[in-house]
Homo-oligomer: A and B are copies of this chain.
Amino acid sequence: MFYSENGNGLNLMAMDAEQLRENAHKMVDVIAEYYKNIESFPVLSQVEPGYLQKLIPDSAPVQPESLHTVLLDVETKILPGVTHWQSPNFFAYFPINGSIAGFLGEMLSAGINMMGPGGGVIQGTASEAVLVVLVAARDRILREIGKDALGKLVVYGSDQTHSCFQKACQIVGIHPQNLRLLRTENYNEYALSPESLDDAISHDIASGLIPFFLCATVGTTSSTAVDPLHALGKIIKRYRIWFHVDAAYAGSACICPEYRHHLNGIEEADSFNMNCHKWFLTNFDCSALWIKDRNTLIQSLSTNPEYLKNKASQGRTVIDYKDWEIPLGRRFRSLKLWMVLRLYGVENLQSYIRNHIKLAQQFEDLVAQDTRFEIVATRTFSLVCFRLLPPNKNEEYANKLNSDLLDAVNSSGKIFISHTVLSGNYILRFVVGAPLTEERHIVAAWKLFQEASSSLLENS
């Protein structure tokens, strides 16, 4: 129970400094208690889908309720249905990072509730980042060859490229048959092969199609593969193709000099983005997008209605970020990123990344020492891809075995991991990235895997 205070019905004003102070102080304690007790919750929710509908009324209350009542409902009705993304035992997908500095920045941003003047080009997520650059690239090529050629445009990525790229293609109208997700191989560490890109482009040109966009990835979702930017850039240069680099997860690691080389070749990219909310201690959402030629973006997304005109925007003395993104208004996201940079400083941020990578390495070592398991892709950052080997070498059975293992560890509520499929095999993904994860969580997680595996193998 993290909320236990007895409250009384309060007559809450829309805004009043003293009421805000009083209630927000209560909320701070609620959130602090949450973090104090975070390890006591099942990481992955254990309720049935739809459970909440039975617990809450169908319409809004006519009279106000007290904060006490609402917070009791948060504790007893809402929290049982959520996944605790900030738990130190969250090892799934890629974690999203909260931090004290990020939270303070969010508080300040929400507290003063103003739209942000921005700094850089901060989008909400990588999905929005790739969408806006894809629109810019599409319009740049269509201005040359005519709008009716849309059906001839071809885009490239690998079969490891994040699904947000496919979604962006759907939104901007790229024909599905012109989305080339080139096959990657285990022997190549699941990186996009420059040769296969070159072949695909040549083949498409020969067929009368028009290649115009490449989405390369530094740190793919399934295995944190790094596409070879330098080699890809050399191919792209020979054509008029927009080169986007998605470093949503691994971009953060590149603030450490020893990982910086993964971005070699980035100078050829037309656009680049990383998610500060993934591994950079910045509360969700905050995705930083860089673009080489901002005019292409502005040309595609500009509108100029009378009611938004002002001397600064008309005189071009300010940058109008509404023309760099989908929405008109934007939350003041730069505030929290700025607070993270200042309250932690670069050295601490580097240590933070290195510590996660060290913990992932420790986990990898533990897996490697147990001959019942296999590491299936080289660990580059803080993701370990592994699987339990089937005793009978039957691949179909192996997939079921690992899917059962995932269910067993997740349903315990003790940890949360996710999976992927690589080269046709069902693979477990163990990512270290939650701010509260320490060595003891790694050790306990591995023990859980060993026990669950023993039990599964015995019963098989």
Contacts and interface: CB of A to CB of B under 8 A. Distances in A.
Interface of A: 12-21, 23-25, 27-36, 48-50, 52, 60-67, 69-70, 74, 78, 81-86, 93, 96-104, 106-108, 110-115, 117, 124-125, 127-128, 131, 135, 138-139, 147-148, 150-151, 162-164, 166-167, 170-173, 175, 221-222, 281, 283-285, 300-301, 303-308, 312, 317-318, 326-329, 331, 335, 339, 341-349, 352, 418-421, 429, 435-436
A250 to B, nearest CB: 15
29 contacts: A12-B100, A12-B343, A14-B100, A15-B99, A17-B35, A17-B36, A20-B32, A20-B35, A28-B28, A49-B312, A61-B342, A61-B346, A63-B345, A64-B342, A69-B342, A78-B335, A82-B114, A124-B327, A127-B326, A127-B327, A127-B328, A128-B327, A135-B171, A147-B175, A150-B173, A170-B301, A170-B303, A171-B172, A222-B307
Given A86-B112, A167-B301, A167-B326, A107 B307 contact: no
A331 B114 contact: no
Nearest to A148: B151
B327 A100 contact: no
A24 B127 CA distance: 31
Nearest to A24: B28
Contacts of A96: 113-115, 329
A131 B307 contact: no
B345 A13 contact: no
A248 B298 CA distance: 25
Given A31-B108, A125-B327, 18 more contacts: A16-B35, A20-B32, A20-B100, A24-B100, A27-B111, A30-B108, A31-B112, A48-B317, A50-B318, A65-B345, A78-B335, A84-B112, A86-B113, A139-B170, A163-B328, A164-B328, A285-B329, A307-B420
Nearest to A164: B328
A335 B31 CA distance: 14
Contacts of A16: 35, 100
A97 B113 CA distance: 8
Contact of A117 (B81, B115, B326, B435): B81
Contacts of A420: 306-307
This chain's copy number in the assembly: 2
Given A35-B20, A222-B307, A110 B100 contact: no
A43 B408 CA distance: 57
A294 to B, nearest CB: 16
A43 B35 CA distance: 38
A82 B117 contact: yes
B67 A104 contact: yes
A148 B346 CA distance: 51
Contacts of A335: 78
Contacts of A83: 114-115
Nearest to A112: B34
Contact of A352 (B14, B67, B86): B14
Nearest to A436: B15
A48 B284 CA distance: 31
B98 A15 contact: yes
A127 to B, nearest CB: 4
